[in-house]
Amino acid sequence: MKKSIAVALLSLNFAWFGPGAPAQEATAPAAADIAAKVAAKYAGLTSLAVTGRVITDIDMSGGKDPAPAPKTDELKYDLGQPGKVTTFSIRLAKPDLYRVEWSQMLTESYTQKGAAWSSGKGDFLLLGGKQRTIEGGMQMALGSAAGVSGGAASTLPSVFFQSKTNQLPNQLQGLANLVLLPEEKIGDDSCYVLSGEKSGQKLIYWITKDYLVKQKKMVLGGEMKIPDISDEDLKKTLSQIGEATTPEAIANMRTTMKTMQAASSKIKGSITEKYETFQANPVLPKESFENASDAAGKAGN
């Protein structure tokens, strides 16, 4: 139950991301202009296919200093180390087709896999080997997958589908205190580096010179800010992860929220999303967004 509630809280985007790298010679108008050009770039795409990794580097020992973040040009990790790396693939096509898959090795003998998708026949979520139909559309499905996917289900889809009547607000354009940091190089790409805040989170984006998101980092270390959440919203969240929606379950969730808030300042480190392959406007038939079980059922009819 505690694990499921933690997933629910992540899906609600409760976070405790604190101060990040200090701005140097920040120019807010230039930063805002870059963010606007990123939005325009993705608005011009009709489809997108991306693969990458999420690197989790968290220290819960209560130390004063955040765990050292990886160098942007040296993202080399032991892919066999449990709980540190989540691999993902993302396929998106306008107006409303999407499929996000993720995989994380939690122990030597167990790998957690999941997916969120729509092929135009509803919105679905696969967690713990169980497929669920999601009420509430794309926003609820991808929101429910945000925590367990390491954030992969929320970042690029929100930028790509930004024109869907605010169903998925563009994360990058919604940042407060946006500043431009010194440029950095990731692989062969020289990147703009934008830093900002959203709902108490410190977010840093690396943007290529052709205005594509190359990397995103969330910096942990501050006290989590919990917005006012109604019992009805908590019921919806519990329902989406297959938990009971009783008054007792809602009360337990609120208690867990308070406990997490009290402990959040002790959590240091970072979560880095790295996008490693990128295909702009690939041909993606509707069938490519379906789950394997959907395709099998279709073939059998």
**Alpha carbon distance 179, 32 (integer Å):** 8
Cβ pair 202, 218 in contact under 8 A: yes
Going by DSSP bridges, is the β-strand pair 85-93/176-186 parallel, antiparallel, or unpaired?
unpaired
pLDDT at 300 over 70: no
18, 84, 179, 192, 235 from 26: Cα distances, Å? 19, 32, 5, 12, 43
pLDDT at 226 over 70: no
* Least confident window among 123-132, 195-204, 235-244, 289-298: 289-298
Band of residue 232 on the pLDDT scale cut at 50, 70, 90: confident
Cβ atoms within 10 Å, residue 62: 10
Q: What is the pLDDT of residues 37-86, one digit of tens each?
A: 999 999 999 999 999 999 988 765 554 554 444 443 333 333 334 458 99
Residue reference for tokens 């765990």: 67
Going by DSSP bridges, is the β-strand pair 85-93/97-107 parallel, antiparallel, or unpaired?
antiparallel
Select 2-277's CATH number: 2.50.20.10, 1.10.150.530, 3.40.190.10, 1.25.40.340.
Answer: 2.50.20.10
Length of the chain in residues, anyone? 301
